[in-house]
Structure 1
Amino acid sequence: MSRMIRFTRITAWLFLVGISLGAIVLSSFYLYLRPGLPAVEQLVDMRLQTPLRVYSSDNRLIAEFGEKRRAPITIEQIPTLQLHAFLAAEDARFYEHNGVDIKGLVRAAVELVSTGSIRSGGSTITMQVAKNYFLTRDRTFIRKFNEILLAFQIERELPKDQILELYLNKIYLGNRAYGIEAAAQVYYGKPVKELELAQMAMLAGLPKAPSAYNPLADPERALIRRNWILQRMNELGYISNTAYELASGAPVTARYHGAETELNADYVAEIARGEMVRRFGDEAYTDGYKVYLTVDSEKQKAANKAMKNGLQAYDQRHGYRGPIGQLEKDTLESGDLAESLSSFSTYPPLRPAVVTSLSNDKAEVYTQEFGMTEMPLETMAWARSYQNPDRRGPAPNKPSDVLAIGDVVYVEVINEPKAEVTGASENEPNEEAHEAATQDKVKVALSQLPEVQGALISLDAQNGGMLALSGGYSFQQSKYNRATQARRQPGSNFKPFLYLAALEKGRTPATLINDAPIVFDDASLETIWRPENSSGQFYGPTRLREALYRSRNLVSIRLLRSIGIDYTIDYLNQLKIDTSQIQKDLSLALGSGQLTPMEVARGFAVIANGGYDVKPYLIDRIEDSRGNIVYAAPSVIHCDENCAEIAQQTPTPDVGFPAIQVAPRLADERAIYILHSMLRDVIERGTGRRALALNRQDVGGKTGTTNEQRDAWFSGFNYSMATTVWVGFDQPSPMGRGEYGAVAALPIWLDYMEVALAGQPPSVMPRPNGIVTVKIDPETGERAAPGNTNAVFELFREENVPAQQTSDAIQSGEDGGTMLPQELF
């Protein structure tokens, strides 16, 4: 008996010593590790790695940049059933334990022994929060002990709901989706609040192993995991037996949904992305910034459509260049056409198709999306074979004149059926909708990917905000942004700046310049330069107004000579037009220098707004992940005098970015007003007459074409908006006879402006003081004598009104004759 008592005492003492030693060890670990644990307050302040999102001015998502897709939400925004699904899967006793669940650890051990695997896991949600936010994923005892200590600390300092919210926003759920809201979008294409019970359970099964239980990678395994979670929810009383049976019998409906952009504006998005990286470095991709641009979604859509249509129209005017590929007979007979077409890129609205049969009036072609489709002969009428920019082959009489079986070509759908089936949606059509959409054979039209390129820039003339921008046919085809990067000769699109310089130097719309041949001969030159008008004709003495709207080259050369090259270069610098790549000779009058389309558009915006400086900008404001505005574009105020003083006196607010930007006057408002009138005549009676289709009296503009039609331009504006369009090949080469600015560029500008100006009231520059209207003789440009029945009204600055006199200066004149070589070069 005494031995038993003695043994019991020894055992008790050993137990107490063991407990003491364990407590000492644990305390030592705690004292050793505690100083290195992060403060829980960091959880509240920590920025989740959220992608950069770019929006239009009317809140349409344009792009998302960053490796992690995340959309943080509050716990109040998450359905109770979704919360219960995660609790059933990960931590059913979450609201009962203090960070570490002993019962959960025991249950996990039992599961391991009985089934050979752990389904519910031993880590609590709080422990996972600690691991995900602060700790590494190293499988070490020290890391696990840190996790337990930190879990206790989190539980002491944060309420349960906040811990659960942090967990559901941080957890990785596969396919770049971080957080439950991003996962709902990735797998089901809708917010978490719209998910069905089976879908909620599927998401709840992902944290344990996002790759193994991913419904996209392994639907069968994911289904088993989902149904186990539904069973747990039923056992815990979260759902009824009926709900369990219905949900567990539901099919797997998950499929990948990329970032659902609402506006196609890749060139714009790339500019914004570059600016954000310049401002914030690599953190721009992870800190959850939202960038709101000046771009209007409807105008941008119009720009995209106008550019694609205009470039395709040019391309089809010059003929068919042949198929983009050819499938062998064995491939056609194998029936595996979809896989064969997958190697060919799609450039919406163009999609690849393979020709499978030909008849006298149509071709049968196969597309990945619609299967077998019809291509009627009339859709190939344009497809005369391309020979060179000026020549095409004969018109096709039957499909075999254009196509051969096995040809891979680009097509556009012309009668895509619209399915009207209950339960179908644009993002996730069901099988019934797809069947209805394809029961009538889709018809397509032959097309091809244009080789010609273009750019469109539309600016708010009053403040410089970019309203729309297109840098080419397709960003997928080429990321080269021609709107901002391509330096090209503007040709006659440059003439308004020359004429504005002349108006400020005292010339008037009534000034006569002789439109006569000019020859420049110099032994140092390989050839004699004989500048001509595009028509090849000469028209004699011509008023500047008419010379501008008819785009007379020889008048422009003589005008530049009369006002001086140095003066003109200085004036261009005054307008803040880049002259670094502008030639300092008389060829300047024909736009021989090089400017980007953006620079041309900016110059026209200065003209449009009455002569004030314009600094084009794209970003309207930037918000951080909490919705705080970290940058906002300053309001632009126009300034006529003492602008530097006004700028210095404008206080900078506490937010760290200026609230006001001063735009000083760069050109005389009276000269600008007269130029507006002259440029409206370009549309009313000159080379821009196609723009009369707008049926507006407030629009002016100028065409532009360079030698051999290598560049085609049109720039047009009203008082509120300036838009420039350029068309040409990336490697400058002739576009073909007749491809002038009015033919290649103006239709694109017109299609865009029809949308951009729709519903907008007329916007005309107010008439400034110091402008007078006088009747002149159109033949002489002089003030008309009383009773002159041919007299027309003309605008003048009051100090430049012509006198009533007779002059034969033109016939004897300083502006006629042959120029010396040094006057050109």
Structure 2
Amino acid sequence: MANNRPTRANTNTEPPKKKKKRKLSKKRVFWTLFFTAAIAIFCALAGYLYITVSGEKLYNENFDKMEVKENSKVYDRSGKLMGELSIQKSDPVESDQIPKLLKDAFIATEDKRFREHSGVDIWSIGRAAVKDIIARAKVEGGSTITQQLAKNLFLTREKTFFRKATEVSIAMALERKLNKEEIITMYLNRINFGGQIYGIKAASQYYFGKSDLNELEVWEMATLAAMPKGPSKYNPLRNPDLSMQRRSVVLQLMNEQGYITAEEKEIAKDVVYNYTPPAKKQQYLAFMDYVMSEAEEVTGLSQDDLNVGGYKIYTTMDANAQQVMEKEFADDNNFEKSVDEVQVQASMVIMNNDTGAIVALLGGRDYERKGYSRVTSSRRQPGSAFKPIVSYAPALESGQYTKDSLLSNKKQCFSNYCPGNLHGYSDTISMPDAIQRSENIPAVWLLNEIGVNTGFKFAQKLGITMEKEDKNLSLALGGMSTGTNTLEMTQAFSAFANGGTLNEAYSIKLIKDSDDKVKYERKKDGVEVMSKDTSYQMTQMMQNVVESGTGKKAAISRPVAGKTGTTQSGIKGNKANRDVWFVGYTPELTAAVWMGYDSPNKTHLLRKSSSLAASFWGKVMEQAVQGFEAKSFPEPPENVKQPVEKPVEVPVATVVTGLNGSYDPTTQIVSLNWNGVEGSNVLYHVYRKESSESDFRLIMDAAPTSNVEDFDIVEGMTYEYYVKAFFPDTNTESEQSNSVQVFTEPLTEEVPDVDIEQPDINNGNGNNGNGNNGNGNGNGNGNGNNGNGNTGGEIPGVPETNPGTGGETIPIPPDGTTVPPEQVVPPVGEDSGVTNPLDPGAINTGTTEHVEPPVTTTP
């Protein structure tokens, strides 16, 4: 059905009406402007009121900062004053002691409208803003002298949104409370003049040798007035040319503002600065710099605040130990002589076992204030010194092993990672012997048994900074991506000495402010990181290292336990070392020593091993421990089982024959070899007598092969040796062999560089010399039973040739200075070696063993 409803027509045919535009009347304009101005005036008044009230409040709260305090002082562990944090003491001077022209020089340079404004110079701020906009950069500051004083007195160095407003409010409060003379005088007494120099009098004394400010000449006044713009940049001692240029600007401003004549300006402008401050050697610089860094961290104060805040900082430093360390670091005879002017560098830290208190430290030879400190800034490969931390201690802690456990010492590979021993191989070896002789295979085997992650986490618990790249078996031999430092190693080993409790290293006991209120106090925070059983057994084994192992040079009049470490060059044909370490402890103190070049290369390497570091350790510690009451290492815990001695039958032992020896002056090593005796489990005792000694003494008590090397040599001495066979099963020893004398004659000419095209660096050390039992160069270069040389190893992915006690043929890169990670030459050294997977130039060793590169390579 159709829809017949009519459509509704739109009857509204008129167009829509347009809104009438309201005309902008004068009345409306007036009221708009009136209310806008009123709001602006109200905001300005409110802002001014806020700034005024805020300034008054801050001024009253920090009124004590108006007083120019004496320099902060630092005290040693006995409460004796070590020194002041500022090199040059800044005694405040009164207004009448400052010449008017000197004040005018600063006013002309920093704030020419100083005597006219009320703390804030609107015209200067506007002018500076315009110049900044034109230059599209900040080229001129608008702060007045009063604002600068407010910033120095009341504000921290932290930059915040309201900092400038706060600075303005305090400046206005200062202007209301003080007159202009008081403000300029306070400003000159507080301003920094470069480095640790604060105050106008201190600056005058330091830069011109004048304590009386009235003796300053015009050019000297202008030189000082030039410095606030950039205390370091315009320092006349460090940058005389820039200082002279800036001085000319100051003199020009002084002349334009009528303070000096044009003639005075010209005369002062051309004076050449040639004053040399008297040498003033401040004691304990390295320790005080460390204290300063720690103080900034624990208080949140800036360096400037600490310098002039009148604080009293009580430290842990032992004056005798620090003086001894500085004296021995200054003795060039304690360090290997360099081939040129580049010095062999060193780092050492001594720490109290009971508390973690740092007793002494030094981060380099010829250390200067705020210099480069190798205590914390330099990280190096620790070599075999890392074995106790990452292999042996965590294995004991796991409960699966004790110090009496037998470890594998077979020549073997671990998933294509093939470390090697310098002293040969045997089916098993005891843990004490493995540590004492610093063998590689047992350390790697043990880490593989307990799991790399176990060793990795244990090292972290001991405070060692670890990277995820470090999780591989090369870690057992010190293979770290970034290395460690003497501070971390000292802290870690102190846990062995402290019954398994780790105390974080610290240098500050207490900080008091100028009113003797405690600002900071150290709280003891020891954490148990291993059992007493583990620490006791580790101490026993590491005492053997010092008594008859690789660390004999560290022996002193107190009981000592410790571990050596060496990192080798990684350069083909070069047996020199990058780093040498000794980390050890007495019952009272723990210390770590590192030696090496800052930038090792083919020219700058150490020819000596870690015995150098051990000797230095002993020399310092023998003197340092005198300030501490003698103690003994702890008795064994009740639950540590002591081995029961069993009666044994004494068989007739076969006598060792054919002993002979030779000396290599290039490596300073005596090589000994003899005819081995029959038996499946035979070790050898090696005895030695120096020409200065009356009796023989045991120097090696568990040599598993019939050839050994003596590293503990002094050139120019004659050594006599004999050997006895030792049978562990029956605990018996044979009669002595024939004796042999070796004279260690030094080289009479410079040792030539090793030919980098030589095809191999590892000479054999086998019994046959025929490539089947140790021909290390892969070409049959042995001499039967008299073969000599060093343990070699394999490169991952490269097939072994001529396996045996000696080394294997290794592909050598043509470049002798840097070694690609996939072609790193395995090191040969006295401790252990491992290629750093992230640093192809660094190979980690210790003092008596050798290791091949890890599996990990750089992509």
Q: Give the TM-score normalised by structure 2.
A: 0.47
Q: Give the TM-score normalised by structure 1.
A: 0.49
